[in-house]
Each structure stands twice: as structure tokens, then as C-alpha cells.
Chain A
Amino acid sequence: MLKQFLTAVFLFFPVIAFAQVMSNQAAPDFTLTDTNGQSHSLSDYKGKFVVLEWFNPDCPFVKKHYNSGNMPGLQKQYTAKGVVWLSIDSSAPGNEGNYPPQDLNKFMAAKGAAPTAVFTDADGKIGRLYGAQTTPHMFIIDPKGILIYQGAIDDTPSADIDDLKTAKNYVSAALDAAMAGKPVAVSATKSYGCSVKY
């Protein structure tokens, strides 16, 4: 039943190529409607730092970062500094992590999270545009629209909360450097996590 539905979905939607975006180049523009019905475009945020965070509430790696307060902490810390934080769920209908928008809002509320906006990308269009492979997968865009970081949230791939004590966070490293006008040391890493459920 699910398979038939998925086939139908893919038949009706154009096959979108899985792209890659290069670091230190212009990040592709997109438009998405958030979980509160509001439309956002990346170009709306020129002049601000933008973080794209791919997530899936059911993925053990995402749970590690949310249950520990790590991701909500980052969101609060940087949105307070004017960073626009967009959390995107690209799970296809019928796959793990695919939920109606209100449920995603509930999830964020329950975890004390504070992204600027939350999006469902059920047809996977934006995920494929950016080449999002895992949850979590992080992309950071600077005020000029250049992609200054893509990849893992930190340097310790695991589902173990204890590893957060010693893990080096690539997102805060990149944002702190860029906001201070310094070059970003690490602009691309291999992300880790569950596969995005396209």
C-alpha cells in the first residue's frame, strides 16, 4: 500500500536530480512553506547568517542532539545573535520521520527547541537540491549568500549522548569564526546520521 502510494507520488512529481553544492560558492535559492503556513525564501535572508538543519524526529542521531539539549542550545544561542535557523524534514510520505506540520511543532516545543522556522519537504525537493544525505546534516550560509559550511554537526559520529562532552562542534566553530570576520577553518565534512528518508 505504502509502496503503491510512493510510486504514485514519484510518478506525479518530476524526478529531481540529486545535486551537490560546493562550499565557498553561492548557495542555491529555494522557497518553502513552514509549519505555520508562512512562505520563506532563502533570498529573504540576504544580509543574515542562515543555518539549514536537516532533521528527522525518529532518527537516533537526531534524538541524541535534541534529547541532550545540544541542538536546542545551539538554536537559542545563535538565533539570539541574529542567525536565521531553518529546520527541514525531507522524509517522504509513508517513511520514517514524515509527520504533519503540527506534529513537528509539538516535537520542537517538547524539546525546548527554538529554530526560526520548521519545514516539511515531503517531496524531497530541497533535500535533493542541497544534497542532504543524513539527519542531521548542517549547511551554513553567510550574509552574502555563500555556503561557508556543509556537513556533520560535530566530529564524533555516534548515537551516544556521552560523546557530546568531547565532540568538537563544527557549526559553532564556523559561525563563531565567520561572525568575527575570520575565515572558516573547516568548510566541508562528511555528515553522519540516518539516511534522509526520501
Chain B
Amino acid sequence: MNMKCLKNLYWLLMFSAAGFSPAFADEASETHSHIKLVSEQTAVALGSTFWAGFDLGLDDGWHAYWQNPGDAGLSPKIKWKLPAGISAGDIHWPYPKLLPTGPLVSYGYDHEVFLLVPVSVDSDFQNPKEVALEAHADWLACKDICVPYRADLKLTLPVAKDASAIKFNDFKHAFDQSLENIPIGIPMISSSFVSDGDYWDLRIQTPHVKSKSQIIFYPFRDDLIEHAAAEELHVRPQGYEVKLKKSHLYQGGDLKALQGVAVNPDGWLENDETKAIIINAHPAPMPIPMASASTVPVKPLHFWLACLFALIGGLILNLMPCVLPMISIKVLHLLERHPDRRTAFCHSLAYAAGILISVWALGLLLAVLKSAGKFAGWGFQFQSPVFVIVVAMVLFALALNLFGVFEFSTPDVGSVPLPQTDYLSSFVSGIITTIVASPCTAPFMGTALTLAISQTNLVGFAIFTFLGLGLALPIVLLSAFPGLLAVLPKPGIWMLYLKRVLGIILLACVLWLLWVFSIETGMMDLFKLSGNSSQGIQWQAYSSPAVEEARRSGHGVFLDFTAAWCINCQVNDRLVLQNPGVVHAFKDQSIIAFKGDWTKYDPGITKALASFGRDSIPVYVYYAPSSGSAEILPQLITPKMILEKITKH
């Protein structure tokens, strides 16, 4: 072969090699996904649990995957390297979206997602200066190709000297958003399922049915349903029915529980927050657990029952510590002045009108706040220190008036017949009665209120009306039937003594309000965690990651949602939760106790209350050891009830 031939052959070979040697795609030369380990806090306290977050960013068109990636893909995995005394929980996954590619459907995220992990620091952690977290992250990001990424991450946070040294940084907003998107369990929403041929029929029962909502169910297991099959949705009066095509891979026989996340883009509660809930459906038929009377009843059947409850609740409110003096004063007026029946009755109507107007105003305010997306509950106005101090001043003036220190233009002294035109004072006393009644909730009231606030305006209006009527009823009855007054002794010196006693009670109320005011304005640092008396129950401040960790520990967990201005809560606290028998039992059973203090507005606690379907405090919740479900106790608790709950297994 001559040189030219060889040369040609050489070039031919080179050319063919180049032409046929496929350039198989290497690892992408640009990075399309990044991850950072961050915290929303600038420092951490020893003996606390805080959120750490993996900030996973993706270029446009790229996706990362959920805990169940669906038909294809891989979830991010974290391997922690932590010093002794620090422990990290599982990833709390925000709810995913559907990622369809051709005939396949995966579950995951785009753009940016924060994967939050609760991290606990022991109180005796050996490094007093800082906490160093290390983690190795593996994750898959795909567009039309897939690239596996890995990163070694580190986060160092200083140890805070005290709670006041902990500030929040720019990540707080993103963390709050992610917490909003993490599915929660809502006890008032229950679910069950039925195996129906090729389908699982998932039923979700909820009092907030939104007919236009497109519900999507994401299972935790990847071998349960055909991810690419459309989920057929039926909207029913009691809730939703979702038909899920069974996976051809499912070989587990009878399914014990259908678990996953259900997403309603319009929100599961009456506003549009809380878009994702945890579903733990058991095979039907399963009786919906009839909890205490505080479970929210279904709308059409129980409307009149709710009105009745509101009426009874309003009646009982008259007996509450701050209301009773007001009622007693009114009764004294009636006795003193012997007005004719007609005048007395008209005054009582003015009083009732004052009550009704205030009750409607409160209800309206609650509804407006709800629709603005800000959760509020009964008694919320007491979260404002300004309001507290104003009410304290009013009550103080009333007390002074009773002591005879000074008089208003309102007819308080003497047996002068009431001028007919002075209905204004009766009207005002009705308003004051409602305001001082609002921090209290009576039995039956809780259920009625929750229904009132959650249903349509007309229903809410009706229920609040009945509440006001109940509150006004005793005075109205006494005025209409003066014969009832005859059971009381004739006017005499005893009335003066009674006025002094009532004045003292009102002064006690003023002092209590001043205490509330001091807490709300931080003047008295009464709520230090370390300030637990050694004899009582050791309370920790409520935070959802801390509660998660506690539940994982296998112990019973008790939650107490309370506020300084909530009289019922304070009474329960003194009589029940500081009862030696109860304290002892808590220690014996190693119950972990959390206090959610709602004295000041706290969105985390408001959200927690909403997740239990409650709008008013107190709320007591018990998680039995190693149980998946919350048991909500009634608002009126007794030591016996608590002991029964925590000692039975």
C-alpha cells in the first residue's frame, strides 16, 4: 500500500471514529441545582429544639423529588454528622406538585424548596460557645436529563446566653412559608377507605366542603397507586371521595392503612391557608370517633343544638367571676329602686340590647379577621395590652363607685326612681358585662362558638344572638317577673355590705387585669421556662418541632393552650394541673408537658388551635404513648379525668 492510500485510510479511520464515537453526555458542566444548610435563628439555646433547613434551589425547568418520587426520580437523602448531645429528626416535607413527563407522573418540587428538620440540643451539651452541624446531602435533579448531586454541608450557630439573645434572620419568612406548606393532621377531618375492585376509594370527612376544590392525594408509599392515573373526585355534603387506581405492583394483600397527603388548593379550613393535611385512612366501616362534646358537629343537623348550647353557655357565663358582680349590681339596682315593672323591664331590654350589640360586634370582628386570614379566637381582644388596661380602668371606676368613693351620673345611690330617660346607662352596663365576660368560656359555649365562626354569616349571627340572649336572660327575667325578687330579702343595710364585697371582687379583677397587662408588656418576666417550681409539672414552651420530637420519644405528651387573661384556664391550672395527684402522675408516667401561651398573639399557637378545630381556649390535648392520634379533652377538666387518661394505656 502506498503512502497516499495509508494517509487516506488513516483519515478515514479518524473520521469514522469521530463520526461514530458517540459523545455520551458527561455530568452536566453547569450546575443546575444548589443546596445550602441554613437556620432562621441567629443563635440557639441549650435544651431547645429549633428548625434547620436545607435550601434546595433549582434552575428553571429542573425538578427535585418528594419523599415518594412517583413513577421516576429519587428523593433527597440526608446523612447527618452530629456531635454528642445534638440530634436531628426526619425531614418535614412541604407538599409536592405533580410532575408529568409523557405517560409518567412524578411528585416533587421546582424552583426552590426548604426541607425543614427539627434539631434538638441537650441542655448539657458540652460546647458552651457554639453548635456545629454537618450533613451530607444526595439529591437528584432532572429536566429532560437527570443529574445526581451531592454536597457536604456545614452550619455553625452560636449558643445563646438567654432566650432574648435569639433573633430571627432573613430566612424566617421562608421557614414560616414552608411550615405553612408542611401537611398537618386535623382531628376534625377524618378519613377512611374502601377497596373497590381496581380502585381504592378514599373518603375524607370535613365540615368545610368547598365544591369547586380539586383535591389531590399523594401517597407515601410508591407501590400503592398508579401515579399517572387521574384521581376521580366526588364532592359530597360530608366531604370528598377520591378514587385512586390501585398499582399493579401492590401485592400486600389487604391494605391496613392508606397514608399520604391530601392537598386542597383552596385550603382545608375556612380560609385558604392549610392547603395540605396528613391522611391516615383506615378501612371503613369505622365509626367516626365521637370525641367530647367539643367536636364540631355537622352543619344541617346540629344548628338548633348549637343555638341551644349558645343559650345555655350564655346563661352559665353569668356565674363567671367578673360577670357575677355586674349581674349582682344590676339586681341590687332593681331591689333598691323598686321601679315599676314596666320601667324595670325597659331597662332590662336596654341592658339586653347592650349585650346583643356587643356580642354581634365581637362576632363580626372575629369573622372579619378570619376572612382576612388572621386567625382569632374568642377572647382575642384581651391579647391587646391597651384593651386590658382600658377595661381595668373601667372596672376600677365601678369598684370605687361601689365603695361610695364617688358617683357617676348613673343612678347608683338612693331609692330615687330611675328616670325613664336613663336607659343609656343600662345599655352601657350591658356592653361592659359582655366585655368582662369575653375572657371566659362556659361549657357548651366552645362547641357553639366554633360552629358559629366556621359557618356562614347567617348561622354565626344566629348562634351569637342566642349567646347574647343567654347572657342577658337572668336580668330580663328578674325585671319581667319582679315576683322573683321577692325571694330576696328586703332592702337594708346588707345591701351596703354586699356592695363593699362586690367592690372587693371587682378590685381583684382589676389586679388580675393588671397582672395580664404586665405579662403582655413584658414588665414581669413571669413566663421564664426555667421558672418552673420544682414541685409542679415541668412545662416546656409549645413549639411544633419540639412536640414532634416528644411524640417520637414514646412518652405521653400533654398540651395545654392557655392565656393569662383566660379565667377558665387559670382556674383549671390551679385546681387541676397543680393538683398534687396530677403532678405526681405526670412524673410517674414521664409525661412531656407543653404550654401554649396565647396571652399575646402568636401565629404558631393560633395555627395549632385551628388544627385542633378550636377557636377558644383553654384547649387540652393528650397524645397517648406511641399513638398516632390526638385526644382533645373538654374545657372543663377534673383531676380524675386527667388521671384516667394518662394512666390507662
Contact = CB atoms under 8 A, between A and B. Distances in A.
Interface of A: 18, 20-23, 57-61, 95-96, 99, 102-103, 106-107, 128, 131, 133-134, 150-151, 157-160, 187-190, 192-198
Interface string B521-547: 000000000000000000000000000
B21 interface: yes
Contact of B148 (A18, A22, A60, A128): A60
5 interchain residue pairs of minimum CB distance:
A195-B72, A159-B148, A20-B248, A18-B103, A198-B102
B55 interface: no
Nearest to A128: B103
A194 B140 CA distance: 9
Contact of A59 (B106, B138, B146, B249): B146
Interface in B5-28: 20-22, 24-25
A194 B104 CA distance: 11
Interface string B121-153: 000000000000000001010101111100000
A151 B580 CA distance: 60
B629 interface: no
Contacts of B112: none
A95 B142 CA distance: 13
Range class of the B interface residue count: 20 to 34
A94 to B, nearest CB: 9
B226 A106 contact: no
Contact of A195 (B21, B142, B223): B142
Given A151-B249, A159-B148, 9 more contacts: A22-B248, A23-B248, A107-B22, A158-B148, A188-B223, A192-B74, A195-B73, A195-B101, A196-B104
Which among A22, A96, A131, A194 has the greatest number of chain B C-beta atoms within 10 A?
Answer: A194
Given A58-B24, A99-B22, A159-B74, A188 B228 contact: no
Contact of B147 (A60, A190, A192): A60
Nearest to A64: B148
A197 B144 contact: yes
B223 A189 contact: yes
Contacts of A107: 22, 24
B222 interface: yes
Contact of B20 (A22, A103, A159, A197): A103
Contact of A189 (B20, B145, B249): B249
8 contacts: A22-B248, A23-B251, A58-B24, A103-B20, A151-B249, A157-B74, A158-B138, A159-B74
A151 B222 CA distance: 12
Contact of B74 (A18, A158, A197): A158
A74 to B, nearest CB: 21
B144 A95 contact: yes
Nearest to A94: B144
Main SS at interface, chain A: loop
B228 to A, nearest CB: 7
B71 interface: yes
Contact of B71 (A59, A102, A134, A150): A134
Interface string B105-124: 01000000000000000000
Contacts of A189: 223, 249
A133 B251 contact: no
A106 B23 CA distance: 11
Interface string B394-428: 00000000000000000000000000000000000
Interface of B: 20-22, 24-25, 71-74, 77, 101-104, 106, 138, 140, 142, 144-148, 222-223, 226, 228, 248-249, 251
A188 B22 CA distance: 35
Given A133-B72, A151-B249, A190 B142 contact: no
Which among A134, A158, A195 has the greatest number of chain B C-beta atoms within 10 A?
Answer: A195
A178 B591 CA distance: 53
Contacts of B145: 58-59, 96, 194
A151 B77 CA distance: 21
A103 B222 CA distance: 34
Contact of A103 (B22, B102, B147, B248): B22
A58 B104 contact: no
A170 to B, nearest CB: 12
Nearest to A58: B25
A96 B25 contact: yes
A61 B148 CA distance: 9
A189 B249 CA distance: 6
Nearest to B26: A58
A131 B227 CA distance: 12
Contacts of A134: 71-72
A106 B21 CA distance: 8
A188 B222 CA distance: 12
A190 B251 contact: no
A18 B146 contact: no
Contacts of B228: 18
Given A20-B226, A58-B24, A95-B144, A198 B103 contact: yes
Contacts of B138: 158-160
A188 B20 contact: no
Contacts of B248: 20-23, 131, 188
Contacts of B74: 157-159, 192
Nearest to A127: B103
A102 to B, nearest CB: 6
A139 to B, nearest CB: 12
A190 B101 contact: no
A190 B22 contact: no
A133 B104 contact: yes
Contacts of B104: 133, 195-196, 198
B20 to A, nearest CB: 6
B100 to A, nearest CB: 10
A7 B73 CA distance: 25
B71 to A, nearest CB: 5
Given A20-B226, A159-B74, A195-B73, A96 B144 contact: yes
Contact of B146 (A22, A60, A188, A198): A60
Nearest to B101: A195
B214 to A, nearest CB: 23
Contacts of B146: 59-61, 194-195
Contacts of B140: 60, 159
Contacts of A150: 249
A103 B20 CA distance: 7
A188 B248 CA distance: 9
Contact of A190 (B25, B77, B249): B249
Nearest to A59: B146
Contact of B106 (A103, A190, A195): A195
Contacts of A20: 226, 248
Contacts of B24: 57-58, 107
Contacts of B21: 106
A133 B230 CA distance: 17
A99 B146 CA distance: 17
A152 B264 CA distance: 32
Contacts of A133: 71-72, 104
Contacts of A198: 102-104
Nearest to A60: B148
A194 B141 CA distance: 10
B20 A106 contact: yes
B26 to A, nearest CB: 9
B249 A188 contact: yes
A197 B101 CA distance: 8
Contacts of A106: 20-22
